Structure 1
Amino acid sequence: MYPEDTGRLPAERAVTIHQPVPLAPVQAAPLVPMQPAGVPAVASIVLPDGRVVTGYAINPMQPEPVAAKPAVSRTAVNIALGGIGFGAVCGGLVLLTAFVAALAAFIHQLIILAAVIFGGWIAVQVFSTSGTRGGTTVNIRKAVIKRNHFHG
């Protein structure tokens, strides 16, 4: 907030002073010289001309093992399995249609056989001359047909 906003001068504002508080001294733990696990030991090499080179021995970088790729891709295997399944289903459908056609032909033959047997039985009943049966016999000796009308 600026003094011109409140109408007061800077000297009229309340001032708060903060004194820093010192921190308690920390007791340092004794340092034990230790070789870290990730850092290799220091090595010195004497060159043929007598110079000494000191440094870390660095192991050469090993490439990360690459996952072995299968000889055939998964997509090709899935397509092949789908084709085998489709072929199996088609074979089953061919057998199913053959079965339905054979069943329809069998039913057709049964209907024809029933018609022949039943028709033969009716023909035997109609055309048989086995004796007299109970009923009325009408003998027509002379019939006169005039103008499309039968007179007996």
Structure 2
Amino acid sequence: MYPDHTHQPPAQRAVEVHQPTPLMPAVAVPAPVVPVQPNTVPAVASVVLPDGRVVTGYAINPTQPEPVTAKPAVSRAAVNVALGGVGFLAVCGGLILLTSFIAALTAFITQLITLAAVCFGGWIAVQVFSASGHQGGTTVNIRKATFKRNHFHS
């Protein structure tokens, strides 16, 4: 069996030729004529196939492959990983500085509170102890007083 599903070899088959039938438009409008440069018309090429058929058509220039861009010496993934590591180290350094700053600020505030407590406590102590020696009222100095039989004589 052959590729076209017939039982005859290609040399024994009859050749059918189909002629295209031109289609006429309903209203005959002349097509505009576009001037064509002689250099832009592609060349017509004919190819003879192994079974004797001739194929005629326009030659198509092979497409040129895009130039291959040179690969960088270091891959983008490696650069991204390295930059991520640098950023991580910068953040960690900043966090260490922030932690140190918070610890120093806490120590400073603790010292201020302690200083305020000592000063305020000292002021209160001075107020308490100075008031206990002086109760107010009239102070009487007794001199050369004598006591005889539970009677006071001056």
Pick the TM interval, shorter chain: 0.3 to 0.5
TM-score in terms of structure 2 length: 0.45
TM-score normalized by structure 1?
0.45
Structure showing greater relative contact order (alpha-carbon pairs closer than 8 Å, 6 or more residues apart): 2
